[in-house]
Amino acid sequence: MCATHSLPLRPGISTNKNKTRGKRPMYDLIIRNGTVVDGSGLPGYQADVAVKGNRIAKIGKIAETADKEVDASGKIVAPGFIDPHTHFDAQLLWDGAAKPALSHGVTTIVPGNCSLSLAPLKADHRMRLVGMFNQIEEMPYKAFREGVVWDWETFSEYITRIRKGLAINVAPLVGHSVIRLWVMNDAATERTATDAEIAEMQDVLRECLDAGAAGLSTSYVDMDETLQPVPSRYADAREVEALAAVLGEYGRMLQIVPEFYDPDLTIARLDQLAELSIKYQIPTTFSPLFVNSDNVDAVDRVMNRVDEQFTRGARVWPQVQTRPIDISFSFAVPSLLFIRYPNWYRIMRFGTPEEIKAHFADPENRKARAAEVADANGLWEKLVLRQVKTEANQKYVGQTLAGIAADRGVTPVEAMIDISVEEDLEAHFLAADMGHNDDEKVVRLLKHPRVHIGASDGGAHILSFSTYGDTGYLFAHFVRDLKTMRLEDAVKKITSDTASIWGIPERGLLRAGYIADITVFDARTVDRGVEKFVQDVPGDGSRYVRDSHGVDTVIVGGGIAWSAKGGYQEARGAVLPGEAADRPQLVAAE
């Protein structure tokens, strides 16, 4: 039963005061006077929404009373948004709300992507996995050391661990790399698996799916902290097919990261997914797919093949992000911006701060590194210096490297190097609008019926970019400003479409009897805030985040989890396991 009536009053939420003759209100919560955009894509309509326990009880004109009421006059009442590509695996251990995702209207997240999850994981392998998260998702070692109490090994034990205090719904994937590591130990990064090892991996995957995994993720591109391929990249086709066969027993998702930098390889992976999807009747998804000025034809080729494979009966959902590509970086942390420049990346990845400073202060190294990145001179001159520590360089904050270089009488790359050394590696730069910024082409992708909006990477790359507010950007930019998408279609894309693709039952639509995951927002003001630098990561770590604009109230499992006036409130999230039964059951948070 919903216990919202017993909780203390939160700012901005009214309670019913008409409890005469000992009668309690009929409902726990009523959202009144809003425009219901129910996730179906049909036009919005005026109605009230009543919640009883954790479910929607009634939609329409509601005369009865409730313990709590939300006035949604002038606002949209929509299903909670679903983010299908995140890396909140670690953050959930110290922050059950996956902040700030919840405040942006996201009520369900899918962590465990890109072959990486925090379970199943033997104690001996913990630091190996932390190294992979550090390299691939740019999560700091110190956050794991100071923010994580390692008290699990199996997937079931991890689910038990994150359930406590969970304020957002979690549909977790299990990573192929960790399953391989569990079964093969060091050999996971040395060779293909034997028949016996593959059979054991199948059993481990079944245990994870029974415990609540929404599917399996794998990767064909990622590297570990030693710049060697992650375990999943050592798997052959028969191993992947054997795991897909297990997914077929449960009807669960297979997510992959293909060789996205090469359209021919991406199409080959897409074809591989299609065969597995058809043979084992499973949904599959791949990401990222984005538009750059030099790959427009490639995206068209990929989408043409997607259409062909769907026509054959396959489900191969490409994931496309809404926002342009922005990357922030400093020399203190190895940035994926430099991954194609081996000497740059090697010194940043393996050098101590003293070694990095000494390397770039040396005139010969400085000259050689500048020559190495000369092919991207059009990029460097546009970079913006976003923060420094010293007073002497404050005058340059907000300027491009081209302007700073002109003032100093050096090249833009030399200016970047010099300021980084002067700032003890703590100068932060922004490479804005690097790609996925052709609005006409991007919106054509987003509106495609076989495109899956996702790829936010929430919880990862915390010093490179802030993806929070991808949904706000969708509404603000493509719906409100450009008017290239209907509001109802945008809501459908991030609610019922995603729930249907992932097989998440009783979510994604506002219907009587469905779980009450609801987002109330103002279509006139909804947006993402400016990127800001905060220090809220365990171990005194920092990250970039964005505040939400225009989101009024976020309801998870019938309880108000966040509101613009009251902030974060009830812990009402759940793990959403898919089970072998026809109707997966909700596992409520403790």
Q: Spell out the alpha helix ranges (H) of 185-262.
A: 195-211, 237-250
Q: Taking residues 244-262, what's their average pLDDT?
A: 96
Q: What is the 3-state secondary structure (H, E, C) of 518-574?
A: EEEECCCCCEECCCEEEEEECCCEEEEECCEECEEEEEECCEEEEECCCEECCCCCE
In the DSSP assignment, the letter for residue 45 is E
How does pLDDT run across 267-318, given as a tens digit for each residue?
999 999 999 999 999 999 999 999 987 777 899 999 999 999 999 999 999 9
The token duo for 559 is 């309880």
Q: Taking residues 101-123, what's their average pLDDT?
A: 97
Which residue shows structure tokens 């770039």?
Answer: 360
Query: Would you state the pLDDT for residue 1?
Result: 34
Nearest Cα to Cα of residue 478 among 496, 494, 498, 462: 494
How does pLDDT run across 3-38, given as a tens digit for each residue?
333 333 343 455 555 444 557 899 999 999 999 999
With 0-12 / 13-18 / 19 or more C-beta atoms within 10 angstroms meaning exposed / middle / buried, residue 583 is exposed
Give me the sheet containing 327-329, strands edge to edge.
Answer: 327-329, 428-431, 384-387
pLDDT band at 435 (very low <50, low <70, confident <90, very high): confident
Q: Taking residues 342-347, what's their average pLDDT?
A: 93
Query: Would you state the pLDDT for residue 310?
Result: 98
Query: Would you state the pLDDT for residue 584?
Result: 32
With 0-12 / 13-18 / 19 or more C-beta atoms within 10 angstroms meaning exposed / middle / buried, residue 40 is middle
Q: Is the pLDDT of residue 522 over 50?
A: yes
Domains defined for the chain, CATH in brackets? 26-112+454-573 (2.30.40.10), 327-433 (no CATH)
Query: Would you state the pLDDT for residue 13?
Result: 55
The token duo for 230 is 């992650």
At CB < 8 A and 24+ separation, what contacts does 197-203 make?
198/238, 198/239, 198/242, 199/242, 201/239, 201/242, 201/243, 202/242, 202/243, 202/245, 202/246
Q: Is the pLDDT of residue 68 over 60?
A: yes
How does pLDDT run across 367-416, given as a tens digit for each residue?
999 999 998 878 899 999 999 999 999 999 999 999 999 999 999 999 99
How does pLDDT run across 127-167, given as a tens digit for each residue?
999 999 888 878 888 889 888 999 999 999 999 999 988 99
In order, the DSSP letters of 301-349 are HHHHHHHHHHHTT--EEEEE-SSPP-EEE-TTS--GGGTT-HHHHHHHH
Query: Would you state the pLDDT for residue 228?
Result: 93
Query: Would you state the pLDDT for residue 427?
Result: 95
Which residue shows structure tokens 């953050």?
Answer: 91
- pTM (two decimals): 0.91
Query: Would you state the pLDDT for residue 22?
Result: 55
Segment (H or E) for 501: helix 496-502
Q: Is the pLDDT of residue 118 over 50?
A: yes
Which residue shows structure tokens 């922004």?
Answer: 430
